[in-house]
Amino acid sequence: MSRGLFEQMKRSIIEGDPVRARELSERSLVEGISPLDSINQGFVPGLNAVGEQFEQGEMFLPDLVLAGEAMKAAGAILEPEIQKAGMARESLGRVVLGTVKGDIHEIGKTLVGTMLAASGFEVLDLGVDVPCERFAEKAKEWKADIVGVSALLTTTMTGQKGVVEALERYGLRPRVKVIVGGAPVTQSWANEIGADGYGKDALATVALAKSLLGK
Amino acid sequence: MQPSLAILEPQLIDRILGEAFTLIWERGVRVEARAAKELLSSSGARVENERVHIPEALARRCIESVPRTFSLYNRVGEPAVNYGENHVQFDPGSSCVQILDAESLEHRMTQAGDLVRIVQVAEMLPQYAAQSTAVVCNEVPKDMGDMYRLFVVLQYSNKPIVTGAFLPHSALAMIEMLEADSGGRAELKAKPRAIFDVCPSPPLHWSEFAAENLVDLARAWVPAEIISVPLAGAASPVTLAGTIVQHAAECISGIAIHQLAQPGAPVVWGGAPAIFDMRSGITPMGAIETCMLNVACAQVAKSLRLPTHGYLLGSDAKIVDAQAGQESGMAAVIGALGGINMISGAGMLDSLACHSPEKLVLDAESIAMAQRLINGIGSQTETLALDMFAKAGEQGDFLKLPETRKLFRQEQYIPTKVIDRSSLHSWEQAGKKDAFARAKERVKELVAAYKRPELATEVDQRLRSIVGEHAEREGAVALPQL
């Protein structure tokens, strides 16, 4: 019975269908299926399948984004139930995310946030044009494990260094890890500014975040 | 007849404009600069929070006051770039941050010396009607980057310049430099040497800084070029038609701000519309759809009789290889057939992140051929063939005819040695070089033959003192020795 439903849940993610994902989540609750099982055995395998196919070049960014949206729709129904039942979906960690000051590029950063959240991280997206200090403030306040900093312009890349420095001033380093990303960013830039890693795309960033936290 | 390419049906252009006017009125445009917002609201636009809702009648009035044609002038005051109608001209891509090292094939951060080299190469190639402030000088403080690039180009070129201010307040300092170069404010207004790119942020957003730039440029009568950058599927609708609507709405709202600040000041309907690569998330400049968008956006502007600009010839390749040649050659032809007045982007690789002087010389060949294409096929002789047949005799020896000698240079574009048309034997004898190797040699030849223009002493001093003042403000930084 639940096996068939789990299969449909997986399909709803692969097909990027938030409406269907929500319906299936609601149905699972009516049928008394554990919300944690729905997430772990239904929706997450769908997300993994999308990730694999993206890596192989068979799926594309819109597939990834819509899969993330479908995941979010399922989470909106199931997460409160998980909490009510006193269960907890294992959080992989807390990530504060944003695009640096002076830069208003949103697409890449938001995609990273969607994929991190869909993969089981808790994500606080600060948006774009975020001052260095604010990354540090929020990381402290929210007890973040990772700070992700996006920059799409060579003129704003230096802000990523500023974030690393601000975190140091707040005494959060090296406990809080820093991941940098964006079109002009490279591994050598990440090394140069003392960041812990460079995420070349959304999926690579998820893998990086997991490995930095030993997950 | 100038051969041309139209890719939008007239009815579709009407629908595009109809939806663009609906967007700027119903959805509204985010405008952050107070001066621009006030100009719009006092002329009948409705302001709600940061969104300005622009009525179609107001927008159409502003479009009407845009000059249909205008020119940019070279250092000696001759018109060298003509905007409007179906003029087609090219300039190198701008504001790049890396350069392809022709020996190591590494992409490395650019410095002032790289900008000088690119300007020297572009100066020597007649295919580039204008220079651009092509690459960022990374050793110069960021806050004076815009003006310093213009300073370098003014020092090394006689051609008109496509530039832009991307930092707060740099437009005014740059206008001051251009006034010094032209010999005064009135002189600059009468014969502008440069045009400034101004970029709205997609979708439908004029940042404080971009909107202020439009106002400042209009009031100084320095030409402005609106660079709308919708990315189909990411920062604009996935359909090409939907993206063209957004491009039109961004251009029209920019024109409204600009013309309300100063009716009749020169402004260009331009941009770098592109698709969004769904695999890599980059903006593929070499994609056929990117070419289509540029031509279509220009076609919309032409229906309004406005001057046009596009961004083509940039390649997504990382080195000057077959892909770079294929993408840029195709784009040159399509852009030229589109009758786009100014086509920026030559020389660029890696989706506009990297410049290459070698690619600039290779692109010049594509441009020359594209220009030959739009010169079309005319009738140069009284009879098309009959007289030449009568003269050529039984054997048909056309090579001997005086007409052949007289007309072949008009009829054919004669490529430089970058394009290899030699025999296999000669090619082998010359070292079996590929196009990139030949381009490297040509760059060296051009740089060796280049002569730096002589600036009038007072102009030079004035330019240096403006740059010097800013360097002082940045903490007395040492500027590169040019």
- At B412, the pLDDT band (50, 70, 90 cuts) reads very high
Which chain A residues have a beta carbon less than 8 Å from that of B234?
61, 107
Is some CB atom of chain B closer than 8 A to the CB atom of A61? yes
Residue B246 has pLDDT above 70, yes or no: yes
Could B353 and A57 be called an inter-chain contact, meaning their C-beta atoms sit closer than 8 Å?
A: no
Closest CA of chain B from A60, distance in Å? 5
Which chain B residues have a beta carbon less than 8 Å from that of A105?
none
- Whole-number mean pLDDT of chain B? 96
**Chain B, nearest residue to A54 by Cα:** B279
- The residue type found at B89 is Q
Tens of pLDDT, residues B78-131: 999 999 999 999 999 998 889 999 999 999 999 999 999 999 999 999 999 999
pTM of the model: 0.91
User: Among 3.30.70.100, 3.40.190.10, 3.40.50.280, 1.10.3470.10, what is the CATH number of A94-212?
Assistant: 3.40.50.280
- A38 with A28: CB under 8 angstroms? yes
Tens of pLDDT, residues A179-211: 999 887 888 889 999 999 999 888 889 999 999
Which residue segments constitute the domains of chain B, with CATH numbers given? 68-236+263-375 (3.20.20.480)
Closest CA of chain B from A201, distance in Å? 8
Count of beta carbons in the 10 Å neighbourhood of residue A86: 6
**A108 closest CB neighbour out of B142, B207, B281:** B281
Nearest to A24 by CA among A88, A78, A91: A78
Tens of pLDDT, residues A170-187: 999 989 999 999 887 888
Which chain A residues have a beta carbon less than 8 Å from that of B167?
155
Could A201 and B281 be called an inter-chain contact, meaning their C-beta atoms sit closer than 8 Å?
A: yes
Could B278 and A107 be called an inter-chain contact, meaning their C-beta atoms sit closer than 8 Å?
A: no
**Chain A, nearest residue to B233 by Cα:** A62
Tens of pLDDT, residues B305-325: 999 999 999 999 999 999 999
Count of beta carbons in the 10 Å neighbourhood of residue A186: 14
- B115 with B82: CB under 8 angstroms? no
Is some CB atom of chain B closer than 8 A to the CB atom of A60? yes
- B311 with B226: CB under 8 angstroms? no
So where are chain A's domains? 2-84, 94-212
Q: Which CATH architecture has domain A2-84?
A: Orthogonal Bundle (1.10)
Asked if residue B55 has a cis previous peptide bond (ω within 30° of 0), the answer is no
Cα B48 to Cα B29, B31, B32, B45, B200, distances in angstroms: 10, 10, 12, 10, 19
> Is B364 exposed, middle or buried, given 0-12, 13-18 or 19+ CB atoms closer than 10 A?
buried
> Is A165 exposed, middle or buried, given 0-12, 13-18 or 19+ CB atoms closer than 10 A?
middle
- B117 with B376: CB under 8 angstroms? no
> Coil, strand, or helix at residue B96?
strand
In angstroms, the CA B332 to CA B335 distance is 5
Which chain A residues have a beta carbon less than 8 Å from that of B166?
155
In angstroms, the CA A196 to CA A209 distance is 10
Mutate to test the interface with B, among A58, A129, A155, A205 (most CBs of B within 10 A): A155
Mutate to test the interface with A, among B108, B137, B142 (most CBs of A within 10 A): B142
**Chain B, nearest residue to A112 by Cα:** B281
Least confident of A28-42, A95-109, B59-73: A95-109
**Chain B, nearest residue to A62 by Cα:** B278
Tell me if ipTM is over 0.90. no
In angstroms, the CA A202 to CA B466 distance is 45
Q: Residue A183 has what DSSP assignment?
A: T
B205: part of which helix (H) or strand (E)? strand B205-206
- At A157, the pLDDT band (50, 70, 90 cuts) reads confident
Q: What is the mean pLDDT of residues B58-87?
A: 98
pLDDT of residue A210: 94
Tens of pLDDT, residues A111-152: 899 889 888 899 999 999 899 999 999 999 999 999 999 998
pLDDT of residue A1: 57
Tens of pLDDT, residues B18-55: 999 999 999 999 999 999 999 999 999 999 988 999 99
pLDDT of residue B290: 98
- A44 with A37: CB under 8 angstroms? no
**A61 closest CB neighbour out of B97, B235, B281:** B281
In angstroms, the CA B90 to CA B348 distance is 13
Dihedral of alpha carbons B436, B442, B448, B453, sign: negative
- B367 with B452: CB under 8 angstroms? no
